[in-house]
Amino acid sequence: AGGAVFGSIVGGSNIEERKRCAQEVAVRNVSGYWIGGFGLGESMEERPSLLNAVTDNLPKDWPRMICGLGLPEEVLQGVAAGVDLFDSAYIYHLTIGGFALTFPLDRTEKNDYNYQLSDQGSDRTKINLRATVYRKDATPIVEDCCCYTCQNHTKAYINHLLNVHEMLAQILLEIHNTHHYLGFFRSIREAIKEGCFEQFQKKFVQSRREHLAADVVSV
């Protein structure tokens, strides 16, 4: 008794159904809204319209939580539409795959990415620490990162742990990835506070597009 209840909003890829569901749930006695059915195959291009069909019809004073979006560019789309909370297994899947987040958190910082690593799953947001290129790399995952992993261990050490199937590899990656991901959300909050979230989002998305274009050329 007395627990907070979030109203569930669905509707698939149908904008009108999304809108209708949001309007119906908006008049219920709930403490917030859970937006479901995303991250199931909708394109990056159609997602904003689907999100806005929901959030435009919800009261602004109650939290909006979404499930299924976790990639940085997906999070930015959600925030742009007015989503407050994200329920995602993104960090877990990254960690299990041996990936480490590396994208810049400082809006003025550039990411010097090696396109030759694309075929191993690396991109402008993450690196694959199973790759042999890191076997003798005595640097931290991210320079100046203050997480426990980066302060105490190197890419080479984590590469070794991954290749011998030592569970400590996942622990160290989980520490770093969680720290980096939370830093990403902190940067988003700062951009919103400073009134430059739109530029922050555009810069991030543009960086991703440049990577994808360069990756196609390199192939």
Residue 203's Cβ-side half-sphere holds a number of Cα atoms within 13 Å equal to: 16
> Do 172 and 153 meet the contact criterion of CB atoms below 8 Å apart?
yes
More confident residue, 122 or 120: 122
- Angstrom distance (rounded) from CA 47 to CA 37: 11
Planar angle of CA 181, 166, 111, nearest 5 degrees: 35
Within a 10 A sphere around the Cβ of 34, how many other Cβ atoms? Answer: 19
pLDDT at 1 over 90: no
Q: What is the pLDDT of residue 206?
A: 85
pLDDT at 209 over 80: no
- Angstrom distance (rounded) from CA 111 to CA 122: 13
Q: What is the pLDDT of residue 219?
A: 42
- How far is the CA of 187 from the CAs of 4, 34, 216, in angstroms? 29, 24, 30
Question: Per mean pLDDT, which range of 24-33, 87-96, 187-196, 201-210 is the poorest?
Answer: 201-210
Q: What mean pLDDT, rounded, does the chain reach?
A: 90
Give the whole-number percent of the chain exceeding pLDDT 70: 86
Give the whole-number percent of the chain exceeding pLDDT 90: 80
Q: What is the pLDDT of residue 115?
A: 47
Is residue 121 very low, low, confident or very high in pLDDT (cuts 50, 70, 90)? Answer: low
pLDDT at 80 over 70: yes
Is residue 136 very low, low, confident or very high in pLDDT (cuts 50, 70, 90)? Answer: very high
pLDDT at 114 over 90: no
Single out the residue of 98, 95, 97 nearest to residue 159, CA to CA. Answer: 98
Give per-residue pLDDT as tens, 149-181. 999 999 999 999 999 999 999 999 999 999 999
Is residue 109 very low, low, confident or very high in pLDDT (cuts 50, 70, 90)? Answer: low
pLDDT at 203 over 70: yes
